[in-house]
Amino acid sequence: MKPYFLLSLLFFFSIITIPASLLLAQTEPPQKTESPQIWEPQVAGRFYPASETALKDQIEGFLSKTPEQAFHGKPLAIIAPHAGYQFSGQVAAYGYSVIKNYEFNKVIILAPSHFMSGKRFRGVSILNVKHFKTPLGTMEVDRPACDYLLNNTNQNSSAEPSHKSLALFGCYEGAYKGEHSLEAQLPFLQKTLQSFKIIPMLVGILINDDLDRVADAIRPLIDNKTLIVISSDFTHYGEYYGYIPFKNNLEENIKKLDYGAFGKILSKDFEGLISYRKETGINACGIIPISLLLKLMPKEAQGTILTYDTSGHQSNNFSFSVSYASIIFTVASEAKSGMYVPKEKTPETVQPYGLSKKEKSALLSLARDTLESYVKTGTTGEAKLTEYSLTPRLKEKCGAFVTLKKHGELRGCIGHISPTSSLYQTIIENTINSSSKDGRFSAVKADEIPDITIEISVLSIPRKIDTPETFCVGKEGIILQKGLVRAVFLPQVATEQGWDRTETLCQLCKKAGLPQNAWKDSDTEFYIFTAEVFNERDAQDKKKL
C-alpha cells in the first residue's frame, strides 16, 4: 500500500537540516495576494468522499466505533493525522470524539505544508478568505484574528518601544493549492463542533527564533474556548519515502521510533523533540506545527495518547508504512489556558509581593547566574537551583519582567504579564529571553556580561480602568488593548523617557502599531498594574552603605 500523496515529503525533509544561511537564500516569506472569498476543497474525492452523504456517513461510522475514553481535564489541543480517511480516519476520530461535548467557539489549525504546489516559503501562510468549504458546507474564518496575525506580527513581550523585524505571517495561496494536511481536519470539525470559527494556518519552514516569534504571535488568540488542532502523521518508513533507518523487526522498530517522539511530545520537551529528530531522522511531517504546540502549551497541560496505528499494520506490509496517532492535551477545568485576561470587575490593584531583601537578592543572583550560564554554555543552570533560597513566595505564580541594561542603555527587556509560572521560573525564562530573543537587539555575547546590569520588575495583577486619565504616570504600568492588538509599558518607562501621561499614551499606541491618538477611541481598553522594581546596582549600593 503506497499513499502516493506523501511523496513530496522527501524534498521537505531533505531541506530541514540545511544550514540557516543557505535556507534563507532559498526560501522567501509568504506574500500577500488576492484570494477568493470562499476557498474550495482541494482534495475532496481523493482523501475523503466528495459526496456530502458519503462523507457524513463515513465520519459518523468512525465516531461510532470510537470507545469512551478516560482522561482528566478540559481539552486544549489535539494532534490528528491527515492521510486519506481510509488509512487514518479511524485514528483521527479518537481525538475528535473527545472534543464533541465541549463548546469551543474558535479553532486554531496548524498544518504542515507539503509543497505540493508553488515554492517553498519561510513562515506561516494564512489565506485572505472568509470561508473554507467542504462537501459538508462552509465554515467561517475568524477574519479579525487572521488579520491580527497578518498585520501585527512584530508585537512581542517587550515592555519597551520596539522596532520592526521580518514578518513571518503572510498570504501565500500557492501553498494551499492541492494541499491536504489542513483540509483533512475540516470535515471532522464540522461533524463534532457546533458554532465555531477557524484560524487556518499552513506552516512552512521556521528557523532560528521563528518558532518563538510565531508562538508569541499566536498566544494572545488563545482563551478558554479555543481548541488547537495540529495536523501530523508520524514515521514514513520505506524506500518510497527515502527513510530506511532499519531493515529488521519493522513493526516493532517503527513503533519504538514513534513512541520515542511521543515521549518528548507528552512531556512538552521542545528541545528534546528537536534533538530526537536530529538523532533519528524521524520524518513526522508535522514536526514544526508540533514544536509550535509545545511552545504554546501551559506547563500544567497533560498529554495523552488516545490511539496509534500504521498503514503497515493495516495492510500487513511494512515495506512502506505511515504511522498515525491521536494525541490530546488537557488542563484541569479550573486552570486557565492561553493568555491571562483580567475580569471585568476586580478589586483595587493588588500591590506586588512585598519581597524581602533576601528574596530580591536570591532572584537577582538567579538571574545573573542564568545569564552567565546561558550566554556562555547555552544551558539554563537550573541544575543548581538547590543553591538558592527559594521561599514559598518565590514559588508562587506571578508576572514579571527582566530588563538588561549595558552602561545604562537598554539591552533587552522581556517578561510575562500573566501569572502563568512560579516567580523564580519566570525570572529564569525571561533572563534567557531578554538576552537572546528581544527582536530589537542581537543576542548578548559573553564579553558583554560584565557590563550588563539586571533589573527585575515583579508585577501585580492588572485591573481594568474606565479611562486612561486615571493612569498614574511613573507609579503604574499600563496595558493597551484594542481588538487583538496589545502593548505594555512598565511603570518606570515613562519616568526614564521623561514622558507625561499624554506622551506615554501616544507612545503606547505607536508601539501597538496604532495611530498615536487611538487611545482616545471608545473601543480601546486599558489595564494598569504596579511593579516592585529592584536591580543589581541598587543592591550593590546598599551593600556599600
DSSP 265-283: HHTT-HHHHHHHHHHH---
What integer pLDDT is reported at residue 381 of this predicted model? 65
Assess contact for 496 and 410: CB atoms under 8 A: no
The pLDDT of residue 291 is above 90 = yes
Helix (H) or strand (E) holding 192: helix 186-192
What integer pLDDT is reported at residue 207 of this predicted model? 87
Q: Which residue has the cell 464540522?
A: 190
Share of the chain above pLDDT 90, in %: 60
Ranked by mean pLDDT, which of 164-178, 332-346, 478-492 comes out on top? 478-492
What integer pLDDT is reported at residue 202 of this predicted model? 96
The pLDDT of residue 8 is above 50 = no
- Mean pLDDT computed over every residue of the chain: 84
Alpha-carbon gap, residue 174 to 31, rounded angstroms: 10
Ranked by mean pLDDT, which of 89-93, 210-214, 426-430 comes out on top? 89-93
CB atoms within 10 A of CB 99: 20
pTM: 0.62
**Top-confidence residue, 52 or 155:** 52
Q: Tell me the average pLDDT across 458-475.
A: 89
The pLDDT of residue 315 is above 60 = yes
Return the half-sphere exposure (C-beta side, CA atoms, 13 A cut-off) of residue 34: 0
Closest CA to 197 of 157, 236, 147, 150: 147
> What is 4-106+127-155+180-208+222-239+248-331's CATH superfamily?
LigB-like (3.40.830.10)
**Top-confidence residue, 154 or 61:** 61
Q: Tell me the average pLDDT across 84-111.
A: 95
User: CA dist 171 to 24, 132, 290, Å?
Assistant: 19, 15, 21
State in Å, rounded, how far the first CA of the chain is from the last one: 78
* pLDDT band with cut points at 50, 70 and 90 for residue 296: very high
The pLDDT of residue 110 is above 70 = yes
* pLDDT band with cut points at 50, 70 and 90 for residue 132: very high
Q: Tell me the average pLDDT across 383-387.
A: 66
Alpha-carbon gap, residue 47 to 39, rounded angstroms: 17
Question: CATH 3.30.700.20 residue ranges in the chain?
Answer: 357-544
What integer pLDDT is reported at residue 439 of this predicted model? 79
* pLDDT band with cut points at 50, 70 and 90 for residue 55: very high
**Top-confidence residue, 140 or 391:** 140
Ranked by mean pLDDT, which of 265-279, 350-364, 469-483 comes out on top? 265-279
Q: Tell me the average pLDDT across 501-509.
A: 93
The pLDDT of residue 2 is above 80 = no
What integer pLDDT is reported at residue 482 of this predicted model? 86
What integer pLDDT is reported at residue 119 of this predicted model? 59
- What lies within 8 Å, CB to CB, of 396 at 6+ separation is 353, 422, 423
* pLDDT band with cut points at 50, 70 and 90 for residue 384: low
- What lies within 8 Å, CB to CB, of 316 at 6+ separation is none
357-544: which CATH number, 3.40.50.2300, 3.40.50.720, 3.40.50.10790, 3.30.700.20? 3.30.700.20
Q: Helix 210-218 and helix 287-296: axis angle, to 10°?
A: 60
13-27, 88-102, 259-273: least confidently modelled range: 13-27
- What lies within 8 Å, CB to CB, of 53 at 6+ separation is none
What integer pLDDT is reported at residue 538 of this predicted model? 62
What integer pLDDT is reported at residue 3 of this predicted model? 40
What integer pLDDT is reported at residue 154 of this predicted model? 46
What integer pLDDT is reported at residue 11 of this predicted model? 33
Share of the chain above pLDDT 70, in %: 83
45: left (phi > 0), else alpha (psi -120 to 50), else beta? Answer: left
Question: CATH 3.40.830.10 residue ranges in the chain?
Answer: 4-106+127-155+180-208+222-239+248-331
* pLDDT band with cut points at 50, 70 and 90 for residue 29: low
Q: Tell me the average pLDDT across 104-117.
A: 87
Q: For 348-378, how does the pLDDT look when each residue is reduced to its tens digit (9 = 90+)? A: 334 445 788 899 999 999 999 999 999 998 8
Q: Which residues pair with 323 in a beta bridge?
A: 310
The pLDDT of residue 235 is above 60 = yes
Cα 159 to its chain centre, rounded Å, is 20
* pLDDT band with cut points at 50, 70 and 90 for residue 227: very high
* pLDDT band with cut points at 50, 70 and 90 for residue 73: confident
* pLDDT band with cut points at 50, 70 and 90 for residue 160: low
The pLDDT of residue 204 is above 80 = yes
**Top-confidence residue, 419 or 368:** 368
Ranked by mean pLDDT, which of 3-17, 67-81, 528-542 comes out on top? 67-81
The pLDDT of residue 545 is above 80 = no
